[in-house]
Structures are given as C-alpha cells and as structure tokens.
Amino acid sequence: MSRGPGRRPPRHWMDLAPAERVDAVRAMGLPAFRARQISTHWFTRLEDDPAGWTDLPADARERIAGILLPPLLEPVQELAADHGTTVKTAWRLYDGCLVESVLMRYPHRTTVCISSEAGCGIGCPFCATGQGGLQRNLSTAEIVGQVVHGARLLARGSAPGGPGRVTNVVFMGMGEPMANFSAVLAAVRELTRPEPDGLGISARGLTVSTVGMVPRMRQLTGAGVPVTLAVSLHAPDDELRDELVPLNRHFDIDAVLDAAWDHARTSGRRVSIEYALIKDVNDQAWRADLLARRLAERGDWNWAHVNLIPLNPTPGSRWTASRREDEEAFVRHLARRGIPVTVRDTRGREIDGACGQLAARVGADGGDLARRASRPGAPRPGRERRRGAGSDAL
C-alpha cells in the first residue's frame, strides 16, 4: 500500500463498530468472542502489544497486530510544561502528515485536546494551522488514537498526580471538525461507548468545535449526542468576522448563532462561544456590548457561555494578544449584561502551545525525534483565570 501524502490509512480496530469487529475476527477464522477480548485489552486495559495478550491464541496474536492494529500515529516530539501537567505531542501519520494533541491535567479533571484534520482549509489568518492549508481528513482511528494515548499516559502514572482517567475531550486541535463530520461523529460515539467497546467517557465531557459550518452543526444536533458545541466566533459583527473567519461569507453570524441556539435548546447543553482576543482588532468594549446583545436577543436562559482566549501568537504574525486592561474591560462589559464569561487558562506558551505551532516547527526542521521537556526556568504560562459569572471553561 502506498504511503504517499493524502493516502488513506489502513483500517484499524478503532475504525470499526462493535458488530464490524465481530465480522473482522470471524474473517480471520477466529470465534466471535475474540472481538470482546481484543477490545478489553485495547480500551479497558489500555494495552497496545498483542504479544502479551495471553488469553488469545499465540498463533493469532501476530495476525491480530498486523491486520487489526496497524500503527497509525508515530510520536515525533513530545514537550511538557506546567510541571509536567501539560504534555503536547506531535504525531506523524501513516502518510507523513503531522498533527498534534495536548494532554492537560487539572486538579479535578483531565482534558485531551485532539486534532481532526491534518492542516485546515478554513484559512483564518491568525491561526497557525490555517496558514498551512488542508492536507487531509483524519480517520476515526487516528482521532480516537490521540485520546487512547492520553489515557495510557494517565493509566501508567506517567503524568504528575498519579494514575488517572481522561474525563474531557475537546475537538479543538488542528482542523475544522465539522469538515470531517463522519469521522468525528464516529469518534464521538467510540469515545462515549461503554467499555470494553469504547473508552466510556461521558458525552457531557466532550466538546466539538466549529467556526460555523451551519449544515453540519444542525446535523450534529440531529444526531442526538449531548456533546457541548463550541463556536469559534471571534467577532460579533459580520464585517470583521468576514476577515477573521472567511467561512462567515457563506454562513453569517445570525445563521451561526441560530444553529448554536438550536443545539443548546435540543441538547440541554450550554454552547461555548470561543472568542480569541486580538490586540486592537476585536477587543474593543463596544464589540463586547454587541456580542452580549446578539446572544441575549436569542434568550436570557444562559444558553451560551463566552470563553475568551488570550491569543497565543504565531511566530511572524502581525496578530498578538490583547492588553490586559482591554481584556478585563471586555470581561466587565459582558458580565454587566449578564453574559457568563471566563478567560481560558493559557497553558503551554513555551512549548508552541497554539494549535498547529509544534507540527509546523517539526515539519520545518525535518522532525526532531528526541523527546524534550521545557527548559528549567523557562517562563511560566499564565495561571488558570476564571473571572466573571461563568463556569466550566475549558
């Protein structure tokens, strides 16, 4: 099989629904109950080497590894920050494409931020991923595999704080999840499927983001999975959003917010409005007031929560984070109008924390295979800050 750029990866156990796994083991001449054994090792025990799966026939283990568990994600660089509680991994995929995932451990939860595409075709000018364009969509297994990796790190006690579990997954890494809708929805179902057929993560712990692909937003709502929807809005007026998020020229702010409101009403899950604060671009107090009005006119039942994001600048970009006083004023204006608002924890600045930065650098230097931690004494990223009336900021 060719491994050229853009080639689809081989089929993996994580690409298959439970019934398809039974068919797969039967096709290998094995009895149906072997499917549950394989899933137990993979999803429940988080074991990745069939050679040690002694409840399976010795002569079948190598075939299982080769046919059902082909390697998909090769770690090419891993960086740590926040005393090891933030771990960012750059992955080389089957065809050489690069993506990223981030494990973030907090006192009462552990979140994995995952990629859904290699690159991104949306073209937002302040985003590192968007500057490289789209290479291809990820498969379901490539998406789920990023979470399985984080789950293994926690289960083995490799992250500070001792053994633990992944409690939250956010589709906020590289790519536009709604542009890879089928694989993302299949990944959501696998992540939430009870063990041993999946990872057994609560759907309420999953967040799927979008810049506003309205038809897919409505399709997600219709799927009946109570995940949190995050809308990367970044501007309350169409004139500016046309520049910051080019897709806005096809689906304007009213259309995006209407679809978001419908998801909140149907799912019972509050929508997260993601808003990257960019110095002298979208951080004016009048824009905070306009954002508040546009949210409030759709209902005052706190259907939306604004998650302000201090921009993590991309090297060479003219875009940079807002001044602290402008950020604080933006928060005040939203809170004064009764809009739940928080400022996102700014983790990992010293390890290429913004989406796409590490993958871009690894690709540029040819891929340093060494695992490196952040240098001792390096500047610490911002502390988790929760100002205003909101809660559950990711």
Beta strands 98-105 and 86-92 are: antiparallel
Clarify whether 355 is annotated catalytic: yes
Q: Give SS3 for 6.
A: coil
**Catalytic residue (choose from 78, 97, 100, 190):** 100
**Catalytic residue (choose from 97, 120, 127, 355):** 355
Clarify whether 325 is annotated catalytic: no
Closest by CA position to 142, among listed 38, 7, 23, 39: 7
> Does residue 107 have a cis bond before it (omega within 30 degrees)?
no
**What are the residue numbers of the active site?**
100, 355
